[in-house]
Amino acid sequence: MKAVTYLKQFLSLKSLFLIIGGSLVYSIGFNMFILPCNLYNGGFLGIVGYFMRNVMGLSFVTDNYIGIIYFLLNIPLMLLAIRKFGKDFLVKSAVCITSYSVLLSLVPVAKHNYLPDTITACLAGGILCGLGCGMTLMSKGSGGGEGILGLLLMHRYHNMSVGKVFNIINIFVFGSCILLYDVAAAVYSIFFAVITSVVLDKAYLPSITVTMIVITKIDLVEEVIFAAVHRGVTKIKGIGAYSGEDTNVLLTVVSKVESMKLRNLLEECDPNIFIIEYENVSVIGNFEKRL
């Protein structure tokens, strides 16, 4: 009971739904579409598989050390993450890793590829795996590995994202597979990994940077932005070209999640407000990426 009470401090029903739902979607995509094609793992699981096979001389399939090695590999990242993101992130990530482990074991592996070809399976599996990873990250936790590393680098470098980190790791993993193993399977695995990373970056809304231009005739609307998302705002005094009336032009940069929240609040503040949004803008300077 004490453990349940402790978890309730950090896990809401929404977070739990995102963690379990995301883990289930990922498990279906991986076990039903990717494993039947005998493709290689990407990310940290791919590093573990490479280490087991080439350094330790173990089988990725028959030797049950993958969970232990993956856990040990995550320890330094978790220690760095708890300093950056706090205990809330640690608890949610622990639940994420457990959920992934359980559901990957429970979801049956398809006996063969039911789709017309391997490319279609890579596309279907990549979309589901990317969506599942994005959902778990939206819970403000992580399934470990490249997810944690991506979040850490994303907060340090503005042009970095979890999907980009996943691709950088895969250059090493799949490059080694091409040199040592089946070239065709490695090429299909690269295609699967790229689809996964693209969908992941689209599904994980905090990684999408949005410029908002807000035009209103009401004063102090910027206070709504300050209070709701704690972002800086540039205020410009303008004049309506047609009406000739004084107008306030507000410029701010937020995440996709914050823009969705702000849109509703600003419309409540001024029903006649005019908002322009640009997604995936490049930002240089003092802009903090958040979970």
Type of residue found at 162: V
Q: Are strands 274-279 and 234-239 parallel, antiparallel or unpaired?
A: unpaired
18, 139 Cβ separation under 8 angstroms: yes
CA distance 200 to 64: 28
Predicted confidence (pLDDT) per residue in 83-134, tens digit: 777 778 778 888 888 888 788 778 887 888 888 888 999 999 999 999 998 8
**Is residue 231 within 8 Å of 253, Cβ to Cβ?**
yes
Q: Compute the mean pLDDT over every residue in the chain, rounded to the nearest whole number.
A: 80
pLDDT in tens, 41-77: 777 767 766 666 666 655 544 444 555 666 777 778 7
Question: In angstroms, how far is the first alpha carbon of the chain from the final one?
Answer: 29
Query: Percent of the chain having pLDDT more than 70?
Result: 85
pLDDT, residue 60, reads 47
Structure confidence at residue 57 (pLDDT): 58
pLDDT of residue 140: 80
Q: Mean pLDDT check: name the lowest of 2-11, 67-76, 232-241, 276-285.
A: 2-11
